[in-house]
Amino acid sequence: MNILVINCGSSSLKYQLIRSETEEVIAKGLCERIGMEGSMITHQPAGGEKVTTESPMPDHTEAIRLVLDRLLDKEVGVIGSLSEIGAVGHRIVHGGEHFAGSVVIDDDVIKAIEECNDLAPLHNPANLIGINACKANMPGVKMVAVFDTAFHQTMPKKAYMYALPYEYYEKYKVRRYGFHGTSHDYVSDRAAALLGKKREDLKIIVCHLGNGASVSAVKEGRSIDTSMGLTPLEGLIMGTRSGDIDPAIISFIAAKEGIDAEKVIGICNKKSGVLGLSGGVSSDFRDLDAAGNDGNQLAIDALETYAYRVAKYIGSYMVAMGGCDVIAFTAGVGENNSKMRAAICEYLEFLGVEIDADKNALRGEETVISKPGNKITVVVVPTNEELAIARETLRLVE
């Protein structure tokens, strides 16, 4: 069966068509600037070149229509008719407490996702637009919702409660939810497989270090803690997000700068992280490495501060799980930046963790990068959220 995986943002839409039998990506692409001037679609059939076409996309329904048009195209298309799409899997950012797993989408599910809009005002409405756009263009095709938050619903109360008046949890569901769940689930599973072990027998710490970044503690196959919170702003230092800060800083800066709290939160989301720490050099670790090599001290400090935060979280999750067998690095920085992995693991030397420099230099494959005999095994596992969504979709529609 061919499964169309859709990841809808507020002005973008990423898609992959995956053949479930072989798990190969038949085609993939991206719609950008939806609802704006100069919207374009980039489409790439397997083994072919990327083709970018400027085309007006006033809304997501039109974007989905263009995606289907590309998939059916005589030259760059990969299917002969829409009936060759067996199911659609949607990435949904926030499932609140409603969803502890993926579900087949029906009217009740759509209503429950709508109820979570408050918790993810930038993401969930866009995800819902994607669902409705697919419904309009492909009536009758089964659709599945795969939630970023679902994997972390196994966290115990002591991990997800904030020490605020209890009524805020009761009235507004203010609690830790965690994100990147599809990735933490997939990567912990692959890490166990790489070691020839069952995930249920392991304590795994997954470091998803991308533009957004989070760490999770996966004990016996279940997430028991994770660094992102009510929103993706909490936890690690990220590309542009601050991660943990003293909440009193918000009103302090607001008063000093004469702006409101909402604006400061915007700054914490978009202008902070390594971008902010480096004095504006970049949110991209390749630029920061280059600037550091040129002697830019703020870039060097930003990378050091980033590594320190990740190491502190790893340490705390070792305590939370009562030990650790595996540490897995994934996502853009985790998969590609060997220097950052080495810097983080340096903090773990007292636990006997030794990184093999040659193994650590490898790219793009599942690799053990710690030395044989280390009590804690460190691995790199490329994440594949689209494949994980396709697998969930297949599991639920079959």
Task: Please choose, from the candidates 193, 227, 222, the residue with its C-alpha nearest in 3D space to the C-alpha of residue 207.
Answer: 227
| Residues with a known catalytic role | 148
H helices then E strands: how many in the chain? Answer: 15, 14
Total number of residues that touch ligand ADP (CB under 6 A): 13
Q: Taking CB under 6 A as the rule, does residue 321 contact ligand ADP?
A: no
HEC secondary structure over 171-224: HHCCCCCCCCHHHHHHHHHHHHHHCCCCHHHCEEEEEEECCCEEEEEEECCEEE
Name the one range near ligand ADP by CB under 6 A: 65-73, 227-235, 280-288, 371-379.
280-288
Smallest distance from the beta carbon of 208 to ligand ADP, in angstroms? Answer: 8
Smallest distance from the beta carbon of 91 to ligand ADP, in angstroms? Answer: 12
Q: Taking CB under 6 A as the rule, does residue 332 contact ligand ADP?
A: yes
Name the one range near ligand ADP by CB under 6 A: 32-40, 205-213, 226-234, 291-299.
205-213
Q: Taking CB under 6 A as the rule, does residue 235 contact ligand ADP?
A: no
Give the nearer residue to ligand ADP in terms of CB position, either 227 or 336: 336
First to last CA, the chain: 10
> In whole angstroms, how far apart are CA 244 and each of 44, 112, 307, 312?
39, 29, 14, 12
Minimal CB distance residue for ligand ADP: 332
Among 212, 243, 276, 292, binds ligand ADP (CB under 6 A): 212
Q: Taking CB under 6 A as the rule, does residue 331 contact ligand ADP?
A: yes
SS3 249: helix
Q: Taking CB under 6 A as the rule, does residue 314 contact ligand ADP?
A: no
Q: Taking CB under 6 A as the rule, does residue 333 contact ligand ADP?
A: yes
DSSP letter, residue 51? E
What sign for the dihedral angle of Cα 145, 5, 183, 267?
negative
Name the one range near ligand ADP by CB under 6 A: 46-54, 141-149, 281-289, 390-398.
281-289
Residues constituting the chain: 398
Give the nearer residue to ligand ADP in terms of CB position, either 85 or 380: 380
Q: Taking CB under 6 A as the rule, does residue 186 contact ligand ADP?
A: no
Identify the burial level of 308 via C-beta atoms within 10 angstroms of its C-beta, where 0-12 means exposed, 13-18 middle and 19 or more buried: middle
DSSP letter, residue 396? H
Which residues form the interface with ligand ADP (CB under 6 A)? 210-212, 239, 283-286, 331-333, 336-337
